[in-house]
Structure 1
Amino acid sequence: MLAVLCGDRHPPDMGPIESGAEIRYTDEKGLPEALRGADALFVYDFLSTAVPGAWHAADRVRWVHIASAGVDPVMFPELRESDVVLTNSRGVFDDSIAEYVLGVVIAFAKDLPRSLELQRERRWQHRESERVAGRRALVVGTGPIGRAIARLLRAAGLVVSGMGRRERDGDPDFGTVYASADLATRVGEFDYVIAVAPLTEQTKGMFDAAAFAAMKPAARFVNVGRGELVVTSDLVTALREGQIAGAALDVFDVEPLPADHPLWTLGNVVLTPHMSGDFVGWRNTLVEVFADNFARWRDGRPLRNVVDKQLGYVPSGQ
């Protein structure tokens, strides 16, 4: 028995799975009933926070798969401490998010947001732009998405370093990886700071007033990780006071971003609605990843993308 949390939008291409299992599709309200007697849960609605509140009804669940790379919506104590296997959809969004990051880096360097404003105003205003080649970028988060970002930025001529749990040299994608504990002492060396770290107790709020104050005044901040990595009020202050030159934000601590939020009115900010990884066909690809793991689970073979529930992400090497 498979429970699928999907809300109003059913996942596509479920035919092969439906032919081999009894499936209960459900929204958040019906999740407790769908979980009773279910052996596995597919969290297709990966933005939902309903699983912890319904978990009391999960009397047989042995495997949970979430249709995203981030697993924070299902990292509640009861699941973390259980022997239920948790897998994610690592690998689906790597290249797409990397392309987004390269796009906003170029947009900042070439002042494209201002060009669009001037175009709407029908104003001819010549300006000089920046080069991206030779600029330094720090990618905070050294998982597969961070590595894809590093490779693409390096191909564009940027000098890229990484930041992760521990410091090391000789990394094939980052060269030098700095320890996250040293964020405030290292971040001032970089022109672009890209946040893509998983959300854990250690990373929550890591970009705070101290981090922004330590950045270059000309630095740009990009967040494609989780909104909760950032103390948003501190970011707003840093942007207003010129502590940093700009920000590109695809994720927020509250989504959708409220219409009266100050981020909407800041001229040095690019906002997108949590779409940096969403290429045409991404929903089908998410189901393909789950279908592969479902076949493995049904056949008793090892699952892919098994999350270390103490770390909160899939360890390197899987």
Structure 2
Amino acid sequence: MQGIEATAVVRYTREDGLAEALRGADALFVYDFLSTAVPGAWHGADRLRWLHIASAGVDPVLFPELRASEVVLTNSRGVFDQSIAEYVLGVLLAFAKDFARSSQLQSEKRWLHRETERISGKRALVVGTGPIGRAIAALLRAAGLDVAGVGRRARADDPDFGTVHASDELTRHLPDADFVVLVAPLTEQTRGMFDARAFNAMRPSARLVNVGRGELVITSDLVEALRTGRIAGAALDVFDTEPLPTDSPLWTMENVLVSPHMSGDFAGWRNALVEVFTDNFQRWRSGRELRNVVDKQLGYVPSSR
């Protein structure tokens, strides 16, 4: 931020001082991307023109007053794409190669030979066709999986997915997938999209991977699907309540991998987020087009593909 401080007055604040810090401010950088303080402090935004959030998801700041305003909203898409794709490939391999069981047996000093699965030739359905979804598709294809996508509109010639199915036809295509990867943005259309009906459409041998938003999934329906063997397992990096409550049954299910919202957090990610904002700030000061402008009605940055 030193380059910005040389050309602008920068105010640093915590949540309780946000409303006052917003008075007279032209731009707001929401570095704490999990904070929900912006709506409550919005009355202080008397001249704000631009809001940037240090995440790909914008749901914490996409409240009605911002949607209705002329304030430009940008996000930090592009920072976490490859890291999240690597996480997805990692958990698919962990399931297929039974790493959790191997770790348990090692702790017990037990030598138990088993056969494991191959991921090559398996089918993955990636729900969400933005940059993160495309990075996931590319890496899974390189590992030998057959990949398709689910997005707003169907198309058969997508350069990264090949076939993209329309989101309103999701349940028709869930039975085809060995792995279902959620990376869709959280919108009114996607909230709770994975419910009992969706889980009932999946293969009993299928695994769910959620690296998008916890609210994409109805947690109670997921727990029931896992408990009854309706689906074979889940790798979950995001949850509708974070931190995951200690009494959640997800912690102790043998067919569940839990990680604390860290799939994209590579060493150096904080600096990378600041660099995205700094670049956009220089663009903003010079009147150039901003990167990653969010369509506030859609809830994400529209893709050209």
Common fold, TM-score beyond 0.5?
A: yes
Aligned to 1:263: 250
From 41, 47, 53, the counterpart of 1:54:
41
List alignment gaps of at least 5 residues for structure 2: none
1:84 aligns with one of 65, 71, 83: 71
Q: Deviations over 1:136-156 (max 9, x none)?
A: 000000000000000000000
Partner of 2:11: 24
Deviations 1:128-182 (A, max 9, x none): 1001010000000000000000000000000000000111101111111001111
Residue number among 219, 222, 237 corresponding to 2:224 in the alignment? 237
Q: CA RMSD in A?
A: 0.8
Question: 274, 289, 296: which one pairs with 2:276?
Answer: 289
| TM-score scaled by length of structure 1 | 0.95
State the partner residue of 1:40: 27
1:118 and 2:142 are equivalent in the alignment: no
Matches within 5 A, 1:187-198: 187-198=174-185
Query: How many pairs were matched up?
Result: 305
Q: Give the C-alpha shift of residue 184 in structure 1.
A: 1.4
Q: 1:254 & 1:240 partners in 2: Cα distance? A: 20
Matched to 2:246, the amino acid is A
Q: Which residue is 2:85 aligned to?
A: 98
Correspondence for 1:5: none
Distance in 2 separating the partners of 1:317 and 1:294: 23
Aligned to 1:25, the other structure's residue is in SS state coil
What are the superposed Cα offsets for residues 180-202 of structure 1, whole Å, 9 maximum, x if unpaired? 11111210110000000000000
% identical aligned pairs: 75
Gaps of 5+ in 1: 1-13
User: Paired residue for 2:116?
Assistant: 129
CA deviation after TM superposition for structure 1 residue 317, in Å: 2.9
2:179 is aligned with 1:206: no
Q: Secondary structure of 1:221's match? A: strand
Q: State the SS of the aligned residue for 2:209.
A: strand
| Alignment partners' CA distance in 1, 2:133 and 2:58 | 16
- Which of 160, 163, 166 lines up with 1:176 in the alignment? 163
CA shift digits 1:261-295 (9 cap, x unpaired): 11101110000000000000000000000000001
Q: Which secondary structure does the structure 2 equivalent of 1:292 belong to?
A: helix
In 1, the alpha carbon distance for the partners of 2:109 and 2:89 equals 28
Q: In the TM superposition, what is the alpha-carbon distance from 1:124 to its structure 2 partner?
A: 1.1
**Whole-angstrom CA distance in 2 between matches of 1:86 and 1:292:** 15
Give the TM-score, by structure 2 length.
Answer: 0.99
**How far apart are the structure 1 equivalents of 2:182 and 2:155?**
19
Runs of 4+ in 1 over 2 A off after TM superposition: none
**2: CA distance between counterparts of 1:175 and 1:122?**
46
